[in-house]
Each structure stands twice: as C-alpha cells, then as structure tokens.
C-alpha cells in the first residue's frame, strides 16, 4: 500500500561558511553517461525524507540521517504541490516518504523549458559547509551560459537565509532535536532566451529537489512594497480581518498583491481578500473589489512561501492610499511583519469583513504591516528599489503622512519628464545592518531589525517586481555597533556585484553623520568617514548619492545640520528627508 505523501515549499536562501565534516558518499562511483536531458524526477537517486516510524528508509547524508515527513507536513507542504517562491513556481516531488526525492548533482542534463530572468533551485548540501559547483544552461537557439550554484548545509547553514527550518532530524537511533534547513538559491539567466535544458554541477554533496525558471515580471511594475523585518507575536487574532493601508507610487489599470509567510514555521490561512481606494481611515472610497488566488477566494500560504493574487482589473491611482483587506479565519499568534509602518492600519471585530464598505467593524489599530509585502500594477517601466535602514524606513517622519524620503522621491519622479515613471519600492528596515543579522532568521523574536542586507538582498531587491535600479543607503548601524569600515565596504561591494549580475543598476549613498547620538562615538565616526571615502572613490557602483554632504552641518561635519535633525541626532526629520529626496539626480535612476 502506498504510504502517505508529504511535500514542501521554500524561499530564497544564501550561504555562509560552515565547519566541514566528512561526506560519506563523496567517493561514490561516477554516474553512467546520460543519453539526453531528462525530467528531474527521472534522475532522482537519493532519499532525503523518512516516515518517523521508519527512519531507516531514507539516508540523505550518507550517515543515515533524514528529514522528518511529519515536520514537513506540519509546515504546510504537500507532495506535488506547486508553490510560488521568489516569483518562481517550484514543485515539490510527488513522492512518498522513503522514496527517492532528490538528485545528487553530478553533471546530469535536466529537461526544462521557459523564459525568465533566473533559475530557482530548491537545494541543500550535505558536506558540512557550503557545497558549490558550476553548471550550464542550454537555450533553444543553441547558445549556452554557465552558472555557479552554492548550496548551504542542511544542518549548519545560516538560519537567516533558510527556506524553512524543521525542528528535528530522523536518525537510525530515533529523532534528534536539531534543526534541518532547506534553501532556494537563484542564479541569473540570459534575458529573452528560452531555456531548453540545464546541466547540473558536479558535486555529489549538492542535492537538488526541484528547479524552475522564474518568469520575467516586465508586464508588471511594483507600486508599493515593504520588507519583512521579523517574525513576531501578534494579536492573537482569531477570525479577524486585517485592513492594511498602503500608499501607491505609480498607478495602473490592473493590480495584484503579494503575501509572504517569510520566516514562519507553520502555514497561514487567508480567507476572503479585497482591495479598495482609501477614502479616510478604514473607509473605502467605493465598494472593495474581491481578490482571488488561482481562482479561489482564499489560499493557504505554507511556511516560507508566498502567494500572489490573481490579476484583477482595478483603476489604481498614483500617489493614493489603498486598503488591502484579508480575513484570517484561524488563530494567528505570530506572523511575519514589517514593524515600522509609520501608518495606522486596522483590525476588525470577529468575522470576514474584507468586503465591508463601512468602517464600523474595524475597531482596533496597528502600526505594522503583517504578511502583506507588495502591490503591483500592470505595465509600466519597472521599479526603483531602495535598500535601507530606519532613515529610509521613515523613523521620525510624520505618521500617516507618507513623508518618507522614498515617498518624496516618487513624487519627484511622477512630476518629471526626464525619466520614466518608475515605481518606488521602500525596502528600509529600522535597525538593519549591512553585514550582521539583528533578527536571527528563525523563530518568534521581539527584534525587528531584520536579517542583514546581504541576507535579504535576494528577496528584498533581486526578486522585487521589475527591479531596474537599486539604491543602497546603509551602514550607520554597522559602525555604531562596532563594525569596521573594511567589513562594511566588503558587504557593499558584494551587494553591487550580485545586483549587477542580475542586470540591476546600483546607486550607493554615503552614510549620514550622527555625532551626539549615544552610539555615534568618535571611533564609529572614523569608520563612517572611511566607508564614505571608499564609496566616493571607487567604481563598484553606477553612481553615488552623497547624502552625507546633503545632511551634514557645514560648521560641524560629524553632526546633522540642525534644521534637518529630528532631535535624536541620528534620524533626519521631515525637512531632512525632503532634502534627501530633492538631492537625487533623477537621471541617475535610468539605465
């Protein structure tokens, strides 16, 4: 009798070095020559997942250890289920626990078709540290390109970039209370060419569970986005509707929204969902328009996965408030959130009130954005993505007024004929750093400083809808907490390199002064000055925005100009944020 099936969906992961251990299968005999490209499932030669009652039926790492089918099911992953991950539809193998479910990379040719901007691989390594190799993509026109794929280790890889962390390993001796990790890694494709096949690297410690072409998003422009800054206790909410207020940068005649269950360990159910233009508070200007998810009124978003709503005809005005409402029919005690919304949103009394035209049911307010991470409009020229910390996130800007400097930059773009009307996506996270994680990347935490810019780059910039240009304005939190200039500049260099590999322009902004704030010591300022000198004098970036020069006091350059200081000597107030937006040469945003 066929055993119960299980499955998985995951999100983007990167890797950090880990201590190597022996890999028992590294000396396995070479694979026999392959006649031609085959579907990935025809190449499965390893079993990673076992039933908890029969752990001996799987051996993922050559030492008898395996993933728990029960834990995967608890994360909301089912076999054969196609799920959107970083914009790519990855299908977990339709295999029972104890059956082959992954490929040990050994140069196999995989049949795969599609056009897009990246390949997405669901992977894990079993070498004790990062395992890497070089593969190749064959295109339908006969051309080829190479790629470098790195899989973090399933036991020691970084939690900050994992797709999911399962609470146990299965071993021949029983369950081991140790987290198992799975990752999704993306690599760039030649734009505009149709993929015909993919040759895997040669490294048998690199296991591939699924791969897919991520389609281009050029038919869409991001009009609003927010980065997930942590996984925090909420509510608890049972049978409640959230009505979240967001502000558009550009308009369009079609719309879709994106929900992300980032960092989660359990699925979340979404009931009815709607969108409306905001009149005031929780009151819509007209009856909310229903949203659907693959034709259904609601959806379940597994741990670590995301869901896009189906495109809907909707007149989205530029520079306007939208109400995105969705019903949570179950009990939600923790959720991925963007903590610093600088915007009031609303929580209803019990029931599905997503379609309500009156605001009466929305009796509570919140100042964060749970689950919702993006709103896209049809067409348009693409988006500018701003990767930043609290200054970008809007700390000290006027609440409910959309006075963050990226908001004001969007105002200037709309009013200008010098550049296309790009969407502006604010991916600022208060307290965020370039090279160090504040939130550990797993579990419920009170820290909402997010994982580092390096660890969130793929999700928050490279996978954003039609990203054309990235503006990087970070580093002050690194130097305030003791990082050296060389560490920060190495991180900024890596950001530029990875973005350029995806065809995205990168603008770097110098770090603003902050003398007078408790952690902005003379030693920290010396590191800040060194980072800024490097930014100004190197060619790693397509252009430099000298925000330090804009904000500093000309009579005391280590301090903010008094007229721009919010009062804490670290964050500009509304006048300083406006000065930042006004200083940007809009011509630098265009390719």
Per-residue pLDDT band at 34 (split at 50, 70, 90): confident
If one counts every other C-beta atom within 10 angstroms of the C-beta of residue 577, the result is 28
Can you read off the two tokens belonging to residue 233? 């206790």
In angstroms, the CA 194 to CA 514 distance is 50
pLDDT tens across 86-133, in order?
888 898 889 999 999 999 999 999 999 999 999 999 999 999 999 999
Question: What is the DSSP pairing of strand 543-545 with strand 505-509?
Answer: parallel
Residue that the structure tokens 């207020």 belong to? 245
Angle at CA 581, nearest 5°, toward 314 and 557?
A: 155
Backbone region of residue 455 per phi and psi (left: phi > 0; alpha: psi in -120 to 50; beta: other values): alpha
Q: What share of the chain is helix, strand, coil (3-state, %, to 5)?
A: 15, 40, 45
Give me 546's structure tokens.
């000298």
Instruction: Give whole-number Cα distances, 336 to 38, 225, 262, 265, 441, in Å.
Output: 38, 14, 6, 11, 11
In percent, how much of the chain has pLDDT > 70?
94
Please report which confidence band the pLDDT of residue 179 belongs to, taking 50, 70 and 90 as the band edges.
very high
CA-closest candidate to residue 566, choices 408, 405, 339, 397: 397
pLDDT band (50, 70, 90) for residue 191: confident
SS3 of 39, please?
coil
DSSP state of 271: -
Residues 330-367 have pLDDT tens digits of 999 999 999 999 999 999 999 999 999 999 999 999 99
Name which CATH class applies to 381-591: alpha beta
Q: What's phi and psi for 290, nearest 5 deg? A: -65, 145
Q: Where are the domains of the chain?
A: 40-214, 228-375, 381-591
Q: What is the pLDDT of residue 30?
A: 53
Q: How many CA atoms lie within 13 A of 74 on its CB side?
A: 12
DSSP per residue over 357-396, as a string? SSSTTEEEEESSEESEEEEEEESSS-EEEEEESHHHHTTT
The predicted structure's pLDDT at residue 5:
36
243 alpha-carbon distance from chain centroid: 22
Band of pLDDT at residue 375, cut at 50, 70 and 90? very high
For position 35, what pLDDT does the model report? 75
- Other Cβ atoms closer than 10 A to 114: 15
Tokens describing residue 158? 């970084």
**What pLDDT digit, counting tens, does each position of 388-414 carry?**
999 999 999 999 999 999 999 999 999
């Amino acid at each position: 009798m066929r055993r119960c099936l299980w499955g998985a969906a995951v999100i983007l992961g990167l890797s950090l070095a880990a201590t190597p251990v022996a890999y028992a299968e590294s000396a396995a005999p070479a694979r026999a020559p392959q006649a031609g490209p085959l579907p990935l499932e025809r190449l499965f030669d390893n079993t990673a997942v076992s039933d908890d009652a029969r752990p001996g039926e799987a051996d993922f790492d050559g030492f008898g250890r395996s993933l728990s089918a029960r834990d995967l099911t608890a994360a909301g992953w089912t076999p054969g289920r196609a799920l959107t991950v970083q914009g790519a539809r990855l299908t977990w193998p339709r295999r029972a626990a104890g059956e082959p479910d992954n490929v040990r990379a050994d140069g196999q040719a995989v049949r795969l078709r599609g056009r897009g901007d990246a390949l997405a691989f669901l992977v894990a390594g079993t070498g004790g540290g990062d395992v890497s190799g070089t593969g190749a993509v064959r295109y339908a026109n006969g051309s080829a390109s190479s790629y470098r794929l790195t899989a973090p280790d399933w036991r020691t890889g970084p939690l900050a970039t994992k797709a999911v962390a399962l609470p146990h390993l299965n071993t021949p001796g029983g369950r081991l209370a140790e987290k198992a990790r799975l990752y999704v890694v993306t690599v760039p494709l030649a734009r505009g060419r149709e993929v015909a096949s993919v040759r895997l690297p040669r490294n048998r410690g690199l296991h591939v569970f699924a791969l897919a072409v991520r389609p281009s998003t050029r038919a869409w422009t991001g009009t609003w986005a927010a980065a997930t800054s942590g996984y925090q206790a909420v509510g608890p909410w049972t049978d409640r509707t959230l009505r979240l207020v967001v502000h558009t940068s550009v308009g369009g005649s079609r719309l879709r929204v994106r929900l992300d269950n980032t960092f989660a360990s359990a699925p979340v159910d979404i009931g009815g969902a709607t969108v409306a233009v905001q009149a005031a508070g929780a009151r819509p200007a007209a009856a909310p328009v229903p949203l659907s998810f693959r034709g259904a009124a609601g959806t379940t978003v597994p741990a670590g996965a995301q869901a896009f709503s189906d495109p809907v005809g909707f007149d989205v005005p530029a520079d306007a408030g939208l109400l995105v409402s969705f019903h949570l029919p179950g009990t939600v005690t923790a959720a991925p959130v963007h903590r610093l919304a600088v915007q009031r949103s609303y929580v209803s009394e019990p029931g599905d009130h997503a379609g309500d035209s009156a605001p009466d049911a929305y009796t509570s307010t919140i100042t964060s954005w749970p689950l919702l991470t993006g709103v896209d409009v049809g067409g348009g020229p693409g988006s500018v993505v701003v990767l930043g910390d609290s200054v970008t996130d809007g700390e000290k800007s006027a609440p409910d007024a959309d006075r963050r400097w990226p908001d004001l930059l969007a105002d200037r773009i709309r009013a200008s004929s010098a550049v296309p009307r790009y969407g502006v996506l604010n991916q600022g996270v208060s307290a965020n750093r370039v090279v160090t994680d504040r939130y550990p990347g797993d579990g419920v935490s009170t820290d909402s400083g997010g994982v580092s810019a390096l660890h969130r780059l793929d999700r928050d910039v490279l996978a954003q809808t039609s990203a054309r240009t990235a503006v990087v304005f970070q580093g002050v939190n690194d130097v305030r907490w003791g990082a050296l200039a060389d560490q920060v500049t190495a991180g900024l260099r890596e950001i530029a390199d990875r973005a350029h590999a995806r065809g995205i322009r990168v603008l770097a902004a110098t770090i603003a002064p902050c003398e007078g704030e408790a952690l902005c010591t003379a030693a920290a300022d010396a590191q800040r000055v060194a980072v800024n000198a490097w930014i100004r004098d190197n060619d790693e970036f397509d252009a430099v925005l000298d925000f330090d020069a804009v904000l500093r006091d000309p009579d005391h350059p280590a301090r903010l100009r008094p007229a721009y200081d919010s009062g804490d000597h670290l964050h500009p107030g509304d006048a300083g944020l406006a000065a930042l937006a006004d200083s940007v040469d809009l011509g630098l945003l265009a390719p």
